[in-house]
Amino acid sequence: MSEQETPQAQWSVTVTPVIAALTALCASTALAGVIEGMRWLGYAGIALMVVTATGLGLRALRTPTLLVALAQLFALLCLLVALFTSSGILGLFPGPKSIGDLGTVLEASVEAVRVGVPPVPATTPVLCLVVIAIGMVGVLVDTLAVAAGTPAACGLVLLCVYAVPASLADEMLPWWSFVLGASAFAVLLAVDGAHRHQVWRNRPVMPGTGRGFGSPSALVSAALALGLLVGATATAVGTVGSLPGGGAGGGAAGGLALKPFTALRGMLSQGANVELFRVRGLGSEGRYLRALTLPRYDGAGGWQAAEALPDNVPAIGDLPLGPGDDGGGLVTPIEIEPINSEDLWAPVYGTPRQLRDLPQGMFYDPSGGMVYSRNARKLPKYVEEADLSQPEADDLRTTGTDYGELDPAYLVNDGIDPEVVALAERLVAGKSTAFDQAVAIQEYFAPSNGFLYRTETSQATGVEALKDFLFGAKIGYCEQYASAMAILARAAGLPSRVAIGYTAGYQAGDYRSITTQDAHAWVEIFFPGEGWVTFDPTPLSDGRGYQPPYVDDGTSTDPSTGVTEEEIPTGADEPTSSPQDEETTDDPGAAPPTEDTGLTIPWTVWVGLGLLIVAAAAAVPARRQRALLWVAVPLGILAVFFLLGALSWWLAALWLVLSIAAVPAAVRGWQRHTNRHALAVPGVVDPATAAWRELIAESEDRGVAVPPSDTVRLAARRMAKEHSLDEPGRHALRTVVDSVERSWYAGRTEPDPRLRAAFDEVVAGLRRTSPLAFKSRVMPRSVVRRRRGTEE
């Protein structure tokens, strides 16, 4: 291969990796739909920079493809150690301690995925996942686009980048993310097509593949635009999907997109406290706001939604009666105003008799007591006419156990662990009524029995986790309490279900404010003639819990005793005083604390961006005034140094060391570029002089310095002998010598048409017979050992 062909041959290992990295970065913007802010994008960019730079450097040294990929993975591991641990060897390289620390961060990352409700804050565990995921994508895209030479296959990898956030986000992913990703992918295909066209330029061109509308670039662009148009109009990528029973009438079964317990954990575990609803008309009674109910026990310690929900009962006007409901009781109008809630469910109080001001497409399930839509939406302010009446304890003791009007699914108790069944039987032994049995089960979870409420607990699920909670640690929060009591009730033969919603919040002026920290789960047990009745085994002691009068009449244990201060769950900015205390605040109309979305940008970022702008301004005219590059390049290096400093000073220091170490190779590359440019475009520098100067430098880089006293012919013989030039190389060298002598000594001013091809052949011959060692590439002798030129 001649030097003339080298730029084309090297295209795929220089330009293509950079374009592939930019494509992966553009695709990663899809994460904006599931991660708050844009801080994570910097981490994704750093990961792709490390992967791409590693690949570029190793491929320049002709490293085997497999070793390149392994080295990229190792470089990614070093980046993780530098960013997310402080125990790496020299702050960068992995060791036993740093691997253990990184494992701890990854465990927190897994937990963040389990409990996070998109969009999640850009915490350290989330950023770690971003670096890992986008770094792996970078390795795959780089390998496919460069090593395999199949950039079109990168589309499958990039599709996965969009698929993950699309399956998690409640809203459409940002439209600009699709535009960026599609545009970058089109550029990657166009770059690859241009490279292939240059390599195959001597082959005949197929009809219709030239320029214009029939060109490959135009066809690819049109196909992508058509795909985006169809995708945007035919599907809602990034939504939560539909509820079970998406067909008319609710006959079909589907997947429930919302994971209720995951959402519950996410709201309770997040650091900020965000207002969700404002409720007027409820009064001072701390009733629970029910969003959905879970009727199915899955036999593995968990609860699931119904397999299908009906859509034949519109949630407008008067609502039908549910099981056990006689339609009596006083009706209270309650105004519910969603603030930052966007969900499938329209939460309600008690038993809803009528709903007003809800949009079309909302349905009511009389059996589950739920109001819902097929897709998540932000609801307007709506009014519920609610029956808030509650039975007396004596009435519940006389209801009997005739559950004929109830769906048998609420009595299924298959698969409950025998130890749990034995506990339930022991708790209800001697209790003659279903109500007394339910109270006995609830009292088992009292703090006096060793149960504690904490949100900072393991999120493990399954039968063993249930048994550990009931018989071992006895530490958990509302999910564990509600699940365990509902299972014990099923084991005792009581129809039960888990309800998920919110506590009553706190009073703020003329409304009650309900926030994310009010998310809650409790138990509902069915009594014939009375319907579903609330039981809450969770020992809340911060004024948010509610015990109905039929339970809190002196016959049950007070769940608010025996809990120490440090066991009370708190959230950032969460009010912990009782509703009565809130009413005496100085500013009763003040809005509740909301999430602080302010972003503090480190000073290093501003310095880095400023230097980057100056460097770019100096680089623009550098094509005409090349001396400006000596200003632009150092400024660019310093800009990256300060930008990396915002993430890790160890990483910034590594960048500076590598940049300084790369100076000799960069200078030699610039000299090579300048000489070839003078050879290709005659100007101030004589082409023959530029060619000879470059050959002298190539020889010196290989360890053979040509004394200034040597004539051109003597120097040529020395190069041919010391570098063992083959016959094509020797023949081309003679042509170069002839051109140089004609230019220097014969006064020939016009360029020799044979010179460029001969020069390319000599350089190719040197690379064939005397390839450069690694040290000579990094520290070229022609730069390190400066000497006077010999061209004159």
Higher-pLDDT residue of 462 and 761 is 761
Residue in the block written with tokens 């879970």 = 294
For residue 526, pLDDT beyond 60: yes
Whether 22 and 168 share a structural domain: yes
Instruction: Please check whether residue 292 lies inside any domain of the structure.
Output: yes
**In a domain? residue 245:** no
Helix (H) or strand (E) holding 542: none
Mean pLDDT for 224-251 is 42
The pLDDT > 90 percentage for the chain reads: 9
Task: Specify the pLDDT at position 438.
Answer: 92
Do both 234 and 283 map to the same domain?
no
Could you tell me if 301 and 417 lie in one domain? yes
Under 8 Å between Cβ of 792 and 751 = no
Please tell me which residue, 407 or 634, carries the higher pLDDT value: 407
CATH of residue 297's domain is 3.10.620.30
Domain boundary residue, one of 555, 582, 609 = 582
Q: What's residue 772's pLDDT?
A: 83
Mark whether 232 and 353 lie in a shared domain: no
Task: Please tell me the predicted confidence (pLDDT) of residue 527.
Answer: 92
Same domain, 459 and 329: yes
Same domain, 221 and 111: yes
Residues 352 and 481 in one domain: yes
H runs (alpha helix) in 475-602: 478-491, 579-582
Give the phi and the psi of residue 347 in degrees, each rounded to 5.
-60, 150
Q: What is the pTM for the complete model shown?
A: 0.48
Determine the pLDDT at residue 439.
Answer: 92
Answer whether residue 69 shows pLDDT above 60.
yes
pLDDT category of residue 686 using cuts at 50, 70 and 90: confident
**Three-class secondary structure of residue 249 per DSSP:** helix
Q: Residue 225 has which token pair?
A: 């635009």
pLDDT higher than 60, residue 213: no
Query: Are 187 and 325 in a shared domain?
Result: no
Please report, in angstroms and rounded to a whole number, the separation of the first and last CA atoms in the chain. Answer: 31
Which of 544, 494, 550 is CA-nearest to residue 523? 494
Number of H helices, E strands in the chain: 26, 19
Q: Is residue 714 part of a domain?
A: yes
Residue 713 is part of which domain span? 663-784
- Mean pLDDT for the stretch of residues 631-659: 75
733 found inside a domain: yes
pLDDT of residue 382: 94
**pLDDT tens readout for residues 325-377:** 888 888 999 999 998 887 888 999 989 999 999 998 899 988 888 998 877 78
Q: Residues 238-267: what's their mean pLDDT? A: 43
Residues 176 and 98 in one domain: yes
Neighbours of 268 (CB within 10 A): 20
Q: Do 283 and 394 sit in the same domain of this protein?
A: yes
Contact 339, 275 (CB under 8 A): yes
Instruction: Please report whether residue 624 resides in a domain.
Output: no
Environment class of residue 221 by beta-carbon count within 10 Å: exposed (0-12), middle (13-18) or buried (19+)?
middle
Say which residue, 679 or 246, is predicted with more confidence.
679
Helix axes 154-168, 15-28, angle to 10 degrees: 10
Asked if pLDDT for residue 270 goes beyond 90, the answer is no
Do the Cβ atoms of 511 and 278 come closer than 8 Å? Answer: yes
Of the candidate ranges 163-177, 428-442, 591-605, the one whose mean pLDDT is the lowest = 591-605
94-134: per-residue pLDDT in tens? 888 888 888 888 877 776 665 556 677 788 888 888 999 89
Give CA–CA dist 472/470, Å, rounded: 6
Percent of the chain topping pLDDT 70 = 73
Three-state SS at 62: coil
Residue 324 gets the label, from left (phi > 0), alpha (psi -120 to 50) or beta, of left
80-101: pLDDT as tens digits: 988 888 888 877 788 888 888 8
Alpha-carbon distance of 499 to 505, in angstroms, equals 17
Q: pLDDT by residue (tens digit) across 137-173?
A: 999 888 888 877 778 888 878 888 887 777 666 566 7
Average pLDDT of the residues in 614-631:
62
Q: Which strands sit side by side in the sheet containing 343-345, from one edge to the other?
A: 343-345, 370-377, 362-365
Tell me the C-alpha to C-alpha distance, in Å, between residue 109 and each of 120, 130, 132, 458.
Answer: 12, 10, 11, 14
SS3 state at 116:
coil
Q: What is the mean pLDDT of residues 647-655?
A: 71
Rounded mean pLDDT of 254-278? 59
CATH number at 727 reads 1.20.120
What are the DSSP calls for 67-81, one per residue?
HHHHHHHHHHHHHHH
Residue 12 has pLDDT above 70, yes or no: no
Per-residue pLDDT for 228 more than 60?
no
d(C-alpha 8, C-alpha 196), whole Å: 9
In angstroms and rounded to an integer, the radius of gyration of the C-alpha atoms of the chain is 36
More confident residue, 545 or 510: 510
